[in-house]
């Protein structure tokens, strides 16, 4: 333990009483070991300092020291923060004490797909600018859909088993033929990459039309006809994205891109 932490320990073995004159004071006990530094301890320390607290930062440097602290205060986790002699608790408890929002890991959210579509849109604009000197082109719109399909497939392929389990809750074809749930992310990725390249349209167009049409019908039935409240497998099997408009949009984008390429195919043949 460093001298600073040792000095702080000697002054704050017990939680501090009333704050002295000057900035408000807090004491935080957090794990700082040779091979592990608690990330929530760092977050809690940052919160306190950003709110103007003078912090006695006390390190728990061994497992034995950590276990003894937990037993002494009757707590199951660290970090633990004390303010004005009262134990506030862990990182989430501190956020509540400071009036900050605490994220519910089970809450439904569209954040993953919004972030993905924002990134793929910027990628498409950047690629168009690099290739054609301007970001706003028809090719940028095509790349946006292709990039989105490829990244959505990647997220599913991180854990195909988890994705397929969630996908089987609502996809009409997968319910009848289970292997389709495993095939789907590979097909989506293949179609997306081929659409980005503009190659082998005779493969990418029918694949995108097929999986996009079945997906759109499946989502529409589950959400708007059966009124089921399900989580979407669109960004993988561990997401809290609700099945609904975003899921339908993913499939409609594939259909739209396939139809656009199909309509453009005769023109490209004539031009060549």
Residues 11, 52 within the same domain: yes
- Asked whether residue 145 falls in the same domain as residue 263, the answer is yes
The DSSP call for residue 58 is E
Residue 106 lies in a domain: no
Average pLDDT over every residue of 127-152 = 93
Is residue 102 a part of any domain in this protein?
Answer: no
230 and 253 inside one domain: yes
pLDDT at 52: 92
Domain membership flag for residue 56: yes
Can you read off the two tokens belonging to residue 32? 């700082």
pLDDT at 17: 44
Residue 21 pLDDT grade (very low, low, confident, very high; cuts 50, 70, 90): low
CA proximity to 154, closest of 192, 127, 181, 125: 192
In a domain, 124, yes or no: yes
pLDDT computed for residue 265 by the predictor: 65
Residue 10: inside a domain:
yes
pLDDT-derived band at 7 (thresholds 50, 70, 90) equals very low
Residue 79 and residue 138 share a domain? no
Q: How far apart are CA 3 and CA 211, in angstroms?
A: 63
Query: In this structure, are residues 201 and 261 in contact, taking their beta carbons and an 8 Å threshold?
Result: yes
Domain-ending residue, one of 70, 97, 124: 97
Tokens 């605490």 locate to: 102
Give the structural domain span for 155: 111-271
Q: Quick one: 154 and 63 in the same domain?
A: no
Structural domain includes residue 105: no
Q: Does any domain span residue 151? A: yes
Task: Read off the pLDDT of each residue in 196-218 and give the average, rounded to a whole number.
Answer: 92
Instruction: Report the candidate in 55, 53, 57, 75 with the shortest Cα–Cα distance to residue 66.
Output: 75
Q: Say which residue, 213 or 246, is predicted with more confidence.
A: 213
Domain termination residue (choose one: 97, 120, 146)? 97
Q: Which pLDDT score, from 0 to 100, does residue 18 have? A: 44
Burial class (CB in 10 A: 0-12, 13-18, 19+), 52: exposed
How many structural domains does the chain have? Answer: 2
DSSP string, 165-217: HHHTTT-HHHHHSTHHHHHHHHHHHHHHHHHHHT--HHHHHHHHHHHHHHHHH
Residues in contact with 201: Cβ distance below 8 Å, sequence separation at least 6, in sequence order: 194, 261, 265
Q: What is the pLDDT of residues 159-201, one digit of tens each?
A: 899 889 889 988 999 999 999 999 999 999 999 999 999 889 8
Statement to judge: residues 141 and 90 lie in one domain: no
DSSP state of 231: B
Regarding whether 227 and 145 lie in a shared domain, the answer is yes
pLDDT tens digit sequence for 43-77: 999 999 999 999 999 999 999 999 999 999 999 99
Q: Are residues 116 and 152 in the same domain?
A: yes
Both 241 and 196 in one domain: the answer is yes
User: Counting beta carbons within 10 angstroms of the beta carbon of residue 172, is it exposed (0 to 12), middle (13 to 18) or buried (19 or more)?
Assistant: middle
Residues 91 and 115 in one domain: no
- 182 and 87 in a common domain: no
Reference 144, options 250, 267, 269; nearest CA is: 250
Distance CA 207, CA 184 (A): 10
pTM, entire model: 0.75
Q: Is residue 103 in a domain?
A: no
- The DSSP bridge partners found for residue 231 are 242
Nearest to 31 by CA among 21, 22, 41, 23: 41
Final residue belonging to a domain, choices 97, 126, 149: 97
CATH number at residue 21: 3.40.30.10
28 against 266, higher pLDDT: 28
Same-domain check for residues 124 and 214? yes
């Amino acid at each position: 333990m460093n001298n600073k932490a040792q000095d702080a320990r000697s002054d704050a073995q017990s939680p501090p009483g009333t704050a002295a004159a000057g900035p408000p004071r807090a004491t935080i006990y957090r794990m700082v070991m040779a091979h592990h530094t608690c990330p929530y301890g760092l977050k809690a320390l940052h919160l306190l300092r950003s709110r103007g607290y003078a912090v006695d930062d006390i390190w728990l440097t061994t497992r034995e020291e950590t276990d003894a602290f937990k037993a002494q205060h009757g707590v199951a986790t660290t970090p633990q923060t004390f303010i004005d002699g009262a134990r506030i608790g862990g990182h989430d408890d501190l956020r509540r004490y400071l009036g900050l929002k605490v994220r519910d890991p089970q809450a439904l959210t569209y954040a993953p797909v919004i972030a993905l579509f924002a990134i793929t849109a910027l990628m498409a604009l950047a690629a168009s600018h690099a290739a054609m000197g301007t970001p706003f082109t028809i090719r940028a719109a095509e790349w946006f859909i292709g990039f989105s399909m490829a990244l959505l497939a990647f997220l599913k392929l991180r854990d195909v088993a988890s994705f397929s389990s969630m996908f089987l809750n609502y996809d009409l074809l997968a319910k009848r033929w289970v292997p389709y749930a495993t095939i789907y992310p590979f097909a989506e990725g293949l179609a997306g990459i081929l659409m980005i390249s503009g190659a082998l349209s005779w493969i990418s167009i029918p694949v995108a039309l097929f999986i996009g049409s079945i997906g759109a019908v499946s989502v529409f039935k589950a959400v708007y006809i059966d009124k089921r409240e399900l989580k979407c497998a669109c960004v993988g099997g561990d997401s809290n994205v609700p099945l609904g408009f975003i899921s339908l949009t993913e499939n409609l984008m594939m259909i739209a891109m396939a139809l656009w390429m199909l309509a453009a195919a005769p023109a490209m043949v004539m031009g060549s």
